């Protein structure tokens, strides 16, 4: 779809029904707070530079734009909290723009790259459901009929 259009993608089903998607990204929100999207972009830059990149947010860029990263031992509780906060942030951001999507967008698709991997393939459903439960009571009307979280 063109830039700025409320629909990011359309999927035509066999029944000729069209499903309209708004697509966003979710990132783990590590502590200390830094934008998950910024951390993800630095991880990609580091990989492109051939630098070893460790997940967990302990990554930095020097004056010459070289990426360096250090391993950081995290716990399942920290991982769960970071991903829960990231999912909440992504969904709330899109819901806050609800009037722009109301009636025109059927589904919010949230791409949470590395969610399953960084959670060690455990507790993922519980984290997703907890994040959704946190967002829903604070929302008067959802602009989407469906919510899909995809890794």
What confidence tens digit (pLDDT) does each residue in 82-120 have?
Answer: 899 999 999 998 888 877 776 788 899 999 988 888 887
The full set of domain ranges for the chain reads 9-35+73-150
Contact 101, 109 (CB under 8 A): no
Please state, in angstroms and rounded to a whole number, the distance separating the CA atoms of residues 58 and 49.
17
- The yes-or-no verdict on residue 137 having pLDDT over 70 is yes
Of all helices (H) and strands (E), which one includes residue 76? helix 76-95
Rounded Cα distance, 33 and 39, in Å: 10
Distance CA(25)–CA(111), nearest Å, equals 5
**Is residue 77 over pLDDT 90?**
no
Reduce the DSSP state of residue 10 to 3 states and report it.
strand
Beta carbons of 135 and 26 less than 8 angstroms apart:
no
Please check the confidence at residue 11 and state whether its pLDDT lies above 80: yes
- Do residues 59 and 39 touch, judged by C-beta distance below 8 A? yes
User: In Å, what is the CA distance from 54 to each residue of 40, 50, 124, 140, 151?
Assistant: 11, 12, 20, 39, 19
Over residues 37-74, the pLDDT tens digits come to 777 788 889 989 998 888 766 788 889 989 988 877 77
CA dist 95 and 89 (Å) reads: 10
**Does the model's pTM come out above 0.75?**
yes
Local confidence band at 131 (pLDDT 50, 70, 90 cut-offs): very high
């Amino acid at each position: 779809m063109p830039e700025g259009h409320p629909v990011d993608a359309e999927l035509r089903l066999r029944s000729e029904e069209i499903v309209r998607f708004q697509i966003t990204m979710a990132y783990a929100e590590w502590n200390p707070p830094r934008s998950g999207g910024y951390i993800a972009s630095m991880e990609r830059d580091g990989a492109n530079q051939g630098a070893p990149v460790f997940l967990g947010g302990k990554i930095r860029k020097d004056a010459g734009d070289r990426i360096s990263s250090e391993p950081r031992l995290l716990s399942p509780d920290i991982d769960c909290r970071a991903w829960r906060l990231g999912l909440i942030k992504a969904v709330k951001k899109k819901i806050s723009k609800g009037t722009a999507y109301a009636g025109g967008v059927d589904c919010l698709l949230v791409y949470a790259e590395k969610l399953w991997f960084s959670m060690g393939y455990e507790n993922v459903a519980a984290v997703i459901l907890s994040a959704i439960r946190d967002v829903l009571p604070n929302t008067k009307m959802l602009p989407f009929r469906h919510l899909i979280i995809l890794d």
